C-alpha cells in the first residue's frame, strides 16, 4: 500500500518523492536492470523466479506470440529462424550490411534497416530489442511500484551514431525515457567508484558471450575519455563452449561411441555448463549423449585451460595492442577491471593479472557490474542525489566532420571531445557566383569521405553571389550528452541559415515511432498475456523434450507404475499445449516435473562420476 506524504506544518517544502530511475545493461547475451535503493545501495532487480540475468533472446512463435528470455533462448535449437539470440549485433545496421548467408534468419527484401521475416511480419532489430526492454521495464515497474521516470542504457564504446540511435529508438518503443546512453566500460568504472578517485588510467577487459571488448579509459577532472578500444566481435564465452564441445566430440569418437549430429546442440549446452562449473571446481565430468547411452568424460581445469589457450591469448594480444595504441605500457595503468561472465574463468583472471602485473578488480560480479554503474548514473541524472554529487561526462566516440572538395573530410569535432560539445568552423565558396552549398556530414577517423560513415546531407541556399572564396560560411556542430548530432550552416553577411538534425540513415522517423508507440500501447495487455502464454508453452515443451529423452535413455530405471504415470503426465501436458490455457499448462508441467524427479535422481546415481549431480533433468538440457 502506498501512503500519501503530508508535509509537516511549518516546513517549507513537502518531502520530495524519490524518482524511479534504473540502469539497463542491454547485452548481446544477457540483459539486466538495476536501481539505487533509498539507502543508497545499488540493487539488481530480479524476475518473479529470482533471476536477475535475462537472456537477450526473443522468439516469435508460429502464431506470432512473443517470448523473451530463458524460454526464447531454449527455443533456438528447434526454431533457429525465428529465435533471435544476439540481436544487438544488428542494431543500426542496414540490409546491405548483413549478408543473408551469415545469419540463420530470413532477411526481408528492401533497403534501409535490416529486417527479419517472422510470423508477425518483418521485424527490425530495434523492434526486437524493444521486446527485451519491455520485459525489463515491466520488471522494474513491478519492483519500484510505479511507472519509470527514466533509464540509463549502456552501449559498447565503439557503437557509432546509427547504433546509438537504434538503441534509443528501441527504448522509446518500449516506453522508456532514456536519460542518457552510457558507454559500457565507463559504467563498469563508475560501479567500482573509480570516478570518485579523481584521476587515473583504467583498462576495462570485457569478455561476454560472443564479444570481446577492451577499452582504455582516462579519468581526468570527472571526465572519462576513451583513449583506445580494441576487440573482436566474434570472440567470447561461446567460443570456449565450442572448443570444449569439439574436444568432447573427439573423446567420444575415440572411445568408439560418437555423439550423433542430432545431439550436437545438447552437447554444446553441456559444454557450456561444464565450462561454468570449472570456474568453481577443479574437474567436471560430462555425460556425453551417444547412441549407446551417456558416456562420462572428465575434463580438468588445467586441460580446459590448455584447450582454450589460444582464445585467451587472442584477447591478451588485443589488450596489448590497445595499450600500445594509447601509448601506454601495462605498468602505467592504474587498474584493470574485469567485465563479462566469461571473465570469471580462472585462466582469464590469471592471464589479465600477469599482463598487468597486478590482480584485476573483481569484487563486483563481472556480468552485473555494467548494470550497477548504469543505475548509479541514472539515479544521479534523475536528481535523486544532492547537487554536490559528481556528474559524469562522456566523450564523443568517433570524430565528426564535413566533406570538402575532392572527397576529403574536414574534421570539426575530434573523437574523445567531452560531451556536450559545440564547435564551429568557417568555409567558403568554390566557384564565382555560387548561390548554394551542399554540406555532407560524416563520422569516422579516416581522411576520405568514402571510408567514413555518411550521417546527413543538407543544403544552404541564398548565398549572395560573390567571387569564389569571398563568402564566409560558418558551419557549427552540436553534440548533446548522448552523442546525438545537429549541424547548422550560416552565411555571415546575410545571416542565411540552414540546419539539420542528424538522423542516422537507419534511425526511425518521428512518425514511425509515434505509430509504433500507439500500437504497442493499444495492445499492451494483449501482448503481455500472449507473451506469458508463449513463454509458458516453450518452457513446457522443454520439460516434455527432456522427459522424453530421459525416458528413452533410462526408462528401465523406473518401476512399471512410475513409467505409466510419467507417460500419462506427458500426454496430458502435450494435449494442453494445443490450448491457450497458460495456468493449466503450468500446472501440468509442474506435475510432470514432480514425476521426473525420482528418475532424475536415479539417473544420476546410475551414471556415477557425474560432477553435475543433484540437478534436475531440466537443468541438464540446453
Give catalytic residues, as residue numbers: 25, 88, 184, 206
DSSP type of residue 260: P
Q: Which of 126, 201, 345, 479 binds ligand ADP (CB under 6 A)?
A: 345
- Cβ closest to Mg ion, residue 208 vs residue 397: 208
Residue range at the interface with ligand ADP (CB under 6 A); choices 208-216, 382-390, 421-429, 498-506? 208-216
Contacts of 130 by beta carbon, 8 Å cutoff, 6+ apart: 170, 171, 173, 174, 520
Query: 225 — phi, psi (to 5°)?
Result: -120, 135
Provide the 10 A C-beta neighbour count for residue 193. 11
Q: Which is nearer to ligand ADP, 164 or 275 (CB)?
A: 275
Choose the contact partner of 237 out of ligand ADP, Mg ion, none; CB within 5 to 8 A by kind.
ligand ADP
Which listed option, ligand ADP, Mg ion, none, makes contact with residue 272 (CB within 5 to 8 Å by class)? Answer: ligand ADP
Among the residue ranges 290-298, 335-343, 379-387, 389-397, the one whose residues contact ligand ADP (CB under 6 A):
335-343
Q: Which stretch binds ligand ADP (CB under 6 A): 126-134, 269-277, 493-501, 504-512?
A: 269-277
| Residue 11 Ramachandran class (φ > 0 left, ψ -120 to 50 alpha, else beta) | beta
213 binds ligand ADP (CB under 6 A): no
User: Exposed e or buried b for every residue in 393-411, given b needs 16+ CB within 10 A?
Assistant: bbbbbbbbbbbeeeeebeb
Regarding 209 and contact with ligand ADP (CB under 6 A), the answer is yes
- C-alpha distances (whole Å) from 183 to each of 153, 374, 493 are 9, 9, 41
Q: Roughly how many angstroms between the first and final C-alpha of the chain, as a whole number?
A: 41
Q: Which of 522, 520, 599 is nearest to 171 (CA)?
A: 520
- CA dist., res. 542 & res. 302, Å (int): 33
Segment contacting ligand ADP by CB under 6 A, of 57-65, 233-241, 429-437, 449-457: 233-241
The answer to whether residue 55 forms part of the interface with Mg ion (CB under 5 A) is no
> Which of 23, 27, 65, 507 forms a contact with Mg ion (CB under 5 A)?
27
Minimum CB–partner distance for residue 370 and Mg ion (Å) = 6
Q: Is there binding between residue 208 and ligand ADP (CB under 6 A)? A: yes
Q: Which listed range, 19-27, 93-101, 287-295, 527-535, lies at the site for Mg ion (CB under 5 A)?
A: 19-27
Choose among 266, 353, 224, 217: nearest CA to 548. 266
Which residue in this structure is represented by grid cell 530495434?
126
Range in contact with ligand ADP (rule: CB under 6 A) among 144-152, 234-242, 423-431, 581-589 = 234-242
* Residue 48 backbone phi and psi in degrees, to 5: -65, -20
Interface with ligand ADP, residue 26, by CB under 6 A: no
> Hey, what's the cell of 5?
506524504
Peptide bond into 420 cis (omega under 30): yes
Query: Nearer Cβ to ligand ADP, position 346 or 414?
Result: 346
Length of the chain equals: 622
In the bound complex, what is the minimum distance in angstroms from residue 204's beta carbon to Mg ion?
Answer: 11
Per-residue mark of binding to ligand ADP, 361-380 (x: CB under 6 A): ------x-------------
Q: How far is the CB of 231 from ligand ADP (least distance, A)?
A: 12
H-helix or E-strand spanning residue 532: helix 524-554
Rule CB under 6 A: say whether 129 interacts with ligand ADP: no
Stretch that binds ligand ADP, among 65-73, 168-176, 268-276, 415-423 (CB under 6 A): 268-276
232 interacts with ligand ADP by CB under 6 A: no
Considering only CA atoms, which of 50, 66, 47 is closest in space to residue 58? 66
Among 20, 30, 168, 301, binds ligand ADP (CB under 6 A): 30
Contact 573, 544 (CB under 8 A): yes
Residue 547 interacts with ligand ADP (CB under 6 A): yes or no: no
Nearer to Mg ion, 365 or 410 (CB): 365
Comparison of 279 and 478: residue with beta carbon closer to ligand ADP: 279
| Residue 64 near residue 528 (C-beta atoms within 8 A) | no
For position 275 contacting ligand ADP by CB under 6 A, the verdict is yes
* Cα gap 608→601, rounded to integer Å: 11
Interacting residue with ligand ADP among 238, 263, 394, 403 (CB under 6 A)? 238
Backbone angles phi, psi at 386, to 5 degrees: -65, 165
Q: Does 272 bind ligand ADP (CB under 6 A)?
A: yes
Instruction: Tell me which of ligand ADP, Mg ion, none is bound by residue 485, counting a contact when its beta carbon lies within the kind-specific cut-off of 5 to 8 angstroms.
Output: none
Which residue in the set 55, 92, 208, 289 belongs to the binding site for Mg ion (CB under 5 A)?
208
User: Which of 20, 21, 24, 29 is in the footprint of ligand ADP by CB under 6 A?
Assistant: 29
Q: What is the nearest approach in angstroms of Mg ion to the Cβ of residue 115? A: 25
- Does residue 294 bind Mg ion (CB under 5 A)? no
- Which span sits near ligand ADP by CB under 6 A: 164-172, 235-243, 326-334, 544-552? 235-243
Q: Which residues contact 262 (CB under 8 A, 6 or more apart)?
A: none
Cα pseudo-dihedral 385, 386, 390, 394, rounded to 10: 50
Taking the least distance from each CB to ligand ADP, the nearer of 187 and 395 is 187
Which residue pairs from 258-261 have beta carbons closer than 8 angstroms and sit at least 24 positions apart in sequence?
258/290, 258/291, 259/288, 259/289, 259/290, 260/289, 260/290, 260/291
The residue assigned the cell 494442453 is: 576
Provide the mask over 63-92, with x wherever binding to ligand ADP is found by CB under 6 A and - wherever it is not. Answer: ------------------------------
Cβ proximity to Mg ion, 24 vs 617, nearer residue: 24
Nearest-approach distance from CB 274 to ligand ADP, in angstroms: 10
Determine the Cα–Cα distance for residues 455 and 442; give it in Å rounded to an integer. Answer: 5
Q: Which does 209 bind (CB under 5 to 8 A by kind): ligand ADP, Mg ion, none?
A: ligand ADP
Q: How many residues sit close enough to ligand ADP to count as binding (CB under 6 A)?
A: 21
Q: Which residue has the cell 563481472?
A: 366
User: Least distance from C-beta 371 to Mg ion, angstroms?
Assistant: 9
CB of 338 to ligand ADP, least distance (A): 10
Dig out the grid coordinates for 483 from the structure: 552523442
Nearest in space to 116 (alpha carbons), one of 79, 144, 160? 79
Residues 6+ apart with CB under 8 A from 164: 92, 155, 181, 482, 483, 484
Q: How far apart are CA 113 and CA 93, in angstroms?
A: 6
Please identify the residue of the shown chain whose CB is closest to the bound ligand ADP.
237
Cα separation of 595 and 598, whole Å? 7
Q: Under the criterion CB under 6 A, does residue 231 sit at the interface with ligand ADP?
A: no
Residue from 89, 45, 55 nearest 75 by CA: 55
Q: Identify residues 181-200 at the interface with ligand ADP (CB under 6 A).
A: none
Binding site for ligand ADP (CB under 6 A): 27-30, 208-211, 236-238, 272, 275-276, 279, 340-342, 344-345, 367
Amino acid at each position: 500500500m502506498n501512503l500519501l506524504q503530508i508535509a509537516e506544518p511549518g516546513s517549507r517544502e513537502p518531502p520530495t518523492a524519490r524518482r524511479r530511475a534504473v540502469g539497463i545493461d542491454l547485452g548481446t547475451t544477457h540483459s539486466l536492470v538495476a536501481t539505487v535503493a533509498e539507502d543508497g545501495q545499488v540493487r539488481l532487480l530480479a524476475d518473479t523466479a529470482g533471476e536477475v540475468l535475462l537472456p537477450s533472446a526473443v522468439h516469435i512463435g508460429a502464431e506470432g506470440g512473443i517470448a523473451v528470455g530463458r524460454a526464447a533462448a531454449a527455443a533456438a535449437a528447434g526454431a533457429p529462424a525465428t529465435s533471435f539470440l544476439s540481436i544487438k549485433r544488428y542494431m543500426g545496421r542496414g540490409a546491405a550490411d548483413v549478408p543473408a548467408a551469415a545469419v540463420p534468419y530470413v532477411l526481408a527484401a528492401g533497403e534501409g534497416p535490416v529486417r527479419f521475416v517472422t510470423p508477425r511480419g518483418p521485424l527490425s532489430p530495434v523492434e526486437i530489442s524493444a521486446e527485451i526492454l519491455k520485459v525489463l521495464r515491466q520488471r522494474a515497474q513491478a519492483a519500484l511500484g510505479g511507472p519509470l521516470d527514466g533509464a540509463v542504457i549502456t552501449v559498447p564504446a565503439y557503437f557509432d551514431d546509427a547504433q546509438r540511435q537504434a538503441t534509443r529508438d528501441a527504448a522509446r518503443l518500449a516506453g522508456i525515457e532514456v536519460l542518457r546512453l552510457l558507454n559500457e566500460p565507463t559504467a563498469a568504472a563508475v560501479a567500482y567508484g573509480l570516478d570518485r578517485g579523481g584521476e587515473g588510467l583504467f583498462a576495462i577487459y570485457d569478455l561476454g558471450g560472443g564479444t570481446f571488448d577492451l577499452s582504455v579509459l582516462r579519468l581526468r577532472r570527472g571526465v572519462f575519455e576513451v583513449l583506445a578500444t580494441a576487440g573482436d566481435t566474434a570472440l567470447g564465452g561461446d567460443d570456449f563452449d565450442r572448443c570444449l564441445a569439439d574436444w568432447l566430440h573427439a573423446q567420444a569418437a575415440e572411445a568408439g561411441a560418437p555423439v550423433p549430429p542430432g545431439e550436437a546442440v545438447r552437447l554444446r549446452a553441456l559444454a557450456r555448463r561444464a565450462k561454468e562449473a570449472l570456474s568453481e571446481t577443479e574437474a567436471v565430468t560430462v555425460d556425453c549423449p551417444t547412441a549407446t547411452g551417456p558416456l562420462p568424460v572428465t575434463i580438468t581445469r588445467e586441460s580446459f585451460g590448455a584447450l582454450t589457450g589460444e582464445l585467451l591469448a587472442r584477447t591478451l594480444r588485443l589488450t596489448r595492442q590497445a595499450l600500445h595504441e594509447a601509448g601506454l605500457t601495462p605498468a602505467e595503468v592504474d587498474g584493470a577491471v574485469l567485465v563479462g561472465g566469461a571473465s570469471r574463468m580462472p585462466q582469464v583472471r590469471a592471464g589479465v593479472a600477469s599482463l598487468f602485473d597486478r590482480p584485476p578488480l573483481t569484487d563486483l560480479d563481472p556480468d552485473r557490474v555494467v548494470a550497477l554503474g548504469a543505475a548509479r548514473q541514472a539515479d544521479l541524472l534523475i536528481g535523486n542525489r544532492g547537487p554536490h554529487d559528481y556528474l559524469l561526462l562522456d566523450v564523443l566516440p568517433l570524430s565528426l566532420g564535413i566533406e570538402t572538395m575532392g572527397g576529403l573530410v574536414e574534421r570539426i569535432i575530434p573523437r574523445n571531445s567531452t560531451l556536450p560539445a559545440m564547435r564551429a568552423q568557417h568555409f567558403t565558396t568554390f566557384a564565382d557566383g555560387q548561390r548554394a552549398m551542399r554540406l555532407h556530414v560524416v563520422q569516422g577517423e579516416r581522411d576520405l569521405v568514402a571510408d567514413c560513415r555518411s550521417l546527413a546531407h543538407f543544403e544552404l541556399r541564398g548565398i549572395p553571389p560573390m567571387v569564389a572564396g569571398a563568402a564566409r560560411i560558418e558551419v557549427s556542430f552540436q553534440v548533446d550528452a548522448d552523442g546525438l548530432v545537429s549541424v547548422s550552416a550560416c552565411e555571415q553577411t546575410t545571416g542565411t541559415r540552414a540546419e539539420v538534425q542528424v538522423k542516422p540513415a537507419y534511425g526511425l522517423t518521428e512518425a514511425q515511432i509515434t505509430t509504433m508507440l500507439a500500437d504497442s500501447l493499444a495492445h499492451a495487455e494483449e501482448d503481455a498475456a500472449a507473451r506469458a502464454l508463449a513463454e509458458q508453452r516453450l518452457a513446457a515443451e522443454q520439460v516434455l523434450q527432456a522427459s522424453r529423452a530421459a525416458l528413452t535413455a533410462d526408462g528401465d530405471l523406473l518401476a512399471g507404475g512410475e513409467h505409466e504415470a510419467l507417460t500419462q503426465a506427458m500426454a496430458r501436458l502435450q494435449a494442453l499445449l494445443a490450448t491457450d490455457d497458460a495456468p493449466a499448462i503450468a500446472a501440468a508441467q509442474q506435475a510432470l516435473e514432480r514425476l521426473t524427479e525420482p528418475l532424475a535422481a536415479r539417473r544420476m546415481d546410475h551414471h556415477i562420476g557425474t560432477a553435475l549431480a543433484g540437478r534436475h533433468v531440466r537443468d541438464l538440457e540446453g
